[in-house]
Amino acid sequence: MTEAPLIPLAIISPVRNEAQFVQKTLDAMVEQTVHPVEWLFVDDGSTDDTRAIIESYVERHIWIRVISRGDRGFRQLGAGVIAAFNFGREQLRSKDYEYIAKLDGDMSFPPRYLEIMVGKLTSEPTLAAVSGKVFRPEKGDYVEEYIIDEMVAGQFKLYRRDAFDDIGGFTQTILWDGIDIHRCRMKGYKTLSFHDPEARLIHHRLMGSSDKSVFTGRVRLGRGIWFMGYHPLYAIASGLFRTHERPYVIGGMIIIASYFYAAIKREPRFEDQEFIQKLQRWQLETLGKLPRKLMRKVTGQTDSSVGE
């Protein structure tokens, strides 16, 4: 079998105990119409067969590698994932890559995914990062894990390298995958996730459930959006929106309650005050546009006809 051509893309996959799903991710990448010049797995203390599964592919594909970090004894989301990513970036053999990505070990995607994503970045010079939309298998169908078009799926962040360096990379904090997007906006870049049947991301684990339970994940998210600097009104709106996702209703309420718990306790916030000010300004502007958007959706009117 002839290998697909290599493109100047370096992918780093921090993994810990992903034996249940990582083969799906490996198979999806092997079947791509183009391959990264390097795909580096950082085994972050796995105690299952994760590394053995990856090594079976390393033997057949020279662009796949796996290295290890010491076992801290537990899964540390946020800061831990990015620490492993940064460790991996320091170990890359490739130096001339033009694109860089972080990919989780519980994903799959169609054969043209990389081709489409890199093509999108190539055609739009102001675009810093891109992804497809994320779907989760459920009861024989697929349920979308909704993100706004300006957000890029945290499970597969694919960046133009110069833009990634310009924003200082990922912060080693919780909600790093939201902070980076708003930093892009502050630098004048665009970011995008979009629907394409040939570029769907399939997430094989319920979002937020990799650490203990999905309820723990919702608590973490609520406290995370406090840390990131969310405006209270936007935090409430975000929680209400999440009530339609599993665990239905209660999940969104947990997010809101956890945000205000963190506020009352005066838990630490992201240290960049300019970032928080600009984030909250954008959030209030976005909320102000909601009535117009809802009216268009209900009536089918265009921008010019609403409010005349």
Domain borders along the chain are: 6-203, 214-294
pTM confidence score: 0.89
In this structure, which amino acid lies at residue 236?
Answer: I
- Band (79; pLDDT cuts 50, 70, 90): confident
CATH domain 6-203 topology: Spore Coat Polysaccharide Biosynthesis Protein SpsA; Chain A (3.90.550)
More confident of the two residues 21 and 72: 21
Task: Count the Cβ atoms, other than its own, within 10 Å of residue 250.
Answer: 13
Share of the chain above pLDDT 90, in %: 81
- What does the block give as tokens for 213? 């339970």
The answer, yes or no, to whether residue 301 has pLDDT greater than 70, is no
Residue 129 has pLDDT above 90, yes or no: yes
- What is the average pLDDT score of the chain? 91
As beta bridge partners, residue 161 has none
Residue-level pLDDT at 212: 59
Cα separation, 91 vs 82, in Å, equals: 14
Q: Which residue has the higher pLDDT, 177 or 296?
A: 177
Buried residues in 69-81 as b, exposed as e (16+ CB within 10 A)? beeeeeebbbebb
Average pLDDT over residues 202-218: 75
Q: What is the pLDDT of residues 226-284, one digit of tens each?
A: 999 999 999 999 999 999 888 899 999 999 999 999 999 999 999 999 999 999 999 99
Say what the pLDDT of residue 299 is. Answer: 44
Distance (Å, rounded) from C-alpha 209 to C-alpha 218? Answer: 9
State residue 70's pLDDT score: 73
One-letter amino acid at 245 equals E
